[in-house]
Amino acid sequence: MQKTSVSVIVPSYKRTEDLKVCLRSLERQLVAPDEVIIVYREEDLETRTFLDSARLSHTTLRRIEVHSPGLAHAINKGVESSGGEIIAFTDDDAEPDEDWVKEIISFFEKNPEAGGVGGRDRFASGLPEKDSPPKASTFGCLDRWGRFHGNHHCPIGADLVEVDYPKGVNMAWRSSLIQDIDVSEGMWGEGAVPCTEMVLGYVVKAKGFQVYLSDKISVKHNVSERSEGDEREDNLPFSKQVLHNKFYVVSHYGPKERLWPAFLRCALIGGSRHPGLLALPFFGRQNYSIEELWQILSCACVGWEAGLKKRNCFAQADAVSVVGYILSRLLK
């Protein structure tokens, strides 16, 4: 039987030492991918110069320039340019295990109902709390109480777990299901562009396919420093992008019955990036001023309203506008 063809897409921006290690890990695959596509920005001379001399012994190495900044555009361009039946993604600071491609192919051959799969990314930060995380019971989803769960770095503890979305550093999709998806539509950000994998996951599930995490599909994630302006810790602009994109994606593509629980939880309880109104007396402002907290919550409202309008839920979008106005008065 002919092997399922696999394209591996690696978006990269000015991290050539990390990219070199990533390519080395793809060179060592037990089953070689049919092509490895490096997507980089046209102004990224550092990556372009590195790729002038980069070679892979067993796989076609392709380079694609993207003219618009941001991960979302890089994903779109990579998907558009790929030729594999399966499209796998990893980051330039990750090292896929040597059986990564082999296990991805095996997974899709054994699970015809699956449209996408991801796996664990094992942190290599030197921090015990990150490198040896506890087991988690819930992964990659929005639960019935409106809480978002990631936990993709935690041990999965099962061969397969059904999820809403994997993590971008370690995911693969049937090409036929994602060729028509524009992950940049409505999204904020010109760097990492948070929540792009959520778009893919929800759209693939809406087409009638399942998305899973597999304990057998794993990468080592070296978590390198991000480019200037794309840092994530204590970063107000990035927090605003996360809240906007997360609620844009959920209101546009997510399960309808979980839309309002998610929005109310964001406003009243909050999350890892901000406290909600009810949580303020207990957790404080988390280094944000009241004005900055309102900016974060207003970005969630903007994303929520935009997604609902895309979904043609105009009455609910108007309701979000009203709630946003009330929040603005409470925070003044």
Would you say 8 and 37 are in contact if contact means Cβ atoms under 8 Å apart? yes
Q: How many CB atoms lie within 10 A of CB 58?
A: 11
> What are the distances in angstroms from CA 56 to CA 9, 151, 164?
14, 33, 34
Least Cα distance to 195 among 226, 164, 155, 225 occurs for: 164
Instruction: Judge whether 263 and 304 are in contact, CB under 8 Å.
Output: yes
In the chain, what are the domains? 6-221 (3.90.550.10), 236-330 (no CATH)
Q: How far apart are the first and last CA of the chain?
A: 66
Q: What are the phi and psi torsion angles at 273 (to 5°)?
A: -100, -10
| Residue type present at position 124 | A
Q: According to the model, what pLDDT value does residue 83 have?
A: 96
Count CB atoms within 10 A of the CB of residue 234.
11
Task: Give the pLDDT confidence of 243-286 residue by residue, as tens digits.
Answer: 999 999 999 999 888 888 988 888 888 876 677 777 776 655 66
Which pLDDT score, from 0 to 100, does residue 328 have? 58
Instruction: Express as a percent the part of the chain with pLDDT over 90.
Output: 59
Asked if residues 276 and 265 have their Cβ atoms less than 8 Å apart, the reply is: yes
pLDDT at 283: 58
